[in-house]
A and B are shown apart, each in its own frame.
Chain A
Amino acid sequence: MRIIRDRRIVEDTFVHLDEHAPVPSGVGVVLPWSRWLAERASLADRGAPVGVRVAATIDLATLVEALSSLAVVAIEIPKFTDGRAYSLARRLRGEAGFSGELRAVGDVLRDQLLFLSRCGFDAFELAPGRSLEDALEAFGDHERHYQSSADRTRPLWTRPSPG
């Protein structure tokens, strides 16, 4: 499967598992949160990166505790109009200091990519049937931003007056 990562189209290097599929060796995997919770001990020493798939409503404290052993946090966006993932991403990039891959999955559409990336997402699985090439253009929709976000841009109101 192709995804967008760091504003480029790349082949996904992770294998996505459901609740029951056997865990392959030597390759990165992304598991549902509940399964990771149940199998975290056995997953810890497999020698390949592990990620989780979570809902935006997940209890933050529990997730934050797990972050040090996670390479990927994939946040589900059930509907593109549901904005909770944006705040969760900001918390993970901000106070929680997560520097791994933050991936948007679910109803992920072109016109939301720029804001999602500003909030800290760096990887995107687009909704089925969407053109990734089309979607890449979204990052160029706006070059300037008034306010800062997880991207740490400098707020425009801090710029010196012209002249």
Chain B
Amino acid sequence: MSTATAGRPHAFDSGLTTPDFAACLAMGLQPLGLVQGYFVGQISSWSTYSGYPVRNYPCACYETGMHNTGWLGRVDDLDQAWMSAHGTALERMLKEAADLGAHGVVGVTTEMSHPTNANSCEVHLYGTAVLSVGGPAPQRLWSTQLAGHKLAKLVEIGYVPGSVAYARCTAMLVEGCNMEFYGSGRCGTGYIITPLQDAHELARSGAVDVARRMSPAMSMYGVDMEVHETEGTGATYITCSLRGSLVRRARSTLPVSPPVATVSLGS
């Protein structure tokens, strides 16, 4: 894929604020250019039907003769579509940075949306490619949402950045016989509605598991956790998505000196 960086003049451009720019220079990081990765894709309209059950809930109304068993499932196709879209956009951004001779990308921002309809996905990543002056080139370019002094603080407490990351899990709850009104198969007030609780839990724990499996040796901080609940035909979809930066602990954590409390004067 051709990159937008070919034929650029030597002057650099960046998305850094002025304080972040100054801090990067103080850290020995030289900004090379604003780099972007972009991906627009079509999500298969069959993906929402591709849920597979992980748990069944027996019919709750034995007397009426209705026997619509409810079940809870995962919709991996949908999640994979978004995660691979993010992965591709990230690779494209890192490719632009590598073409500039950078060692990493700081201040990465991610935008995700449906450009046309619910079956399309758009991922746009951008950040500032930087070169570590006098430092050896890493085996793989690193990327982080942080920049400036916050990045310096990260290293100060013993971490080095790995990569920006995106993880998600969609739980699909197919309702059985009036499951919404039946708590564990009983009718009345005060009964735990097990299927809904399970669906909420599956979406969240699934997303956290995906994030952990991405890189077991790394931790994900600054996670932006979003949960959406949508009603489909006969089914409820609960999606949990996590966006953050993976970091690796490079040495033992050392205590940080107690913060100084301040009162800010002025407007």
A and B pair up: no
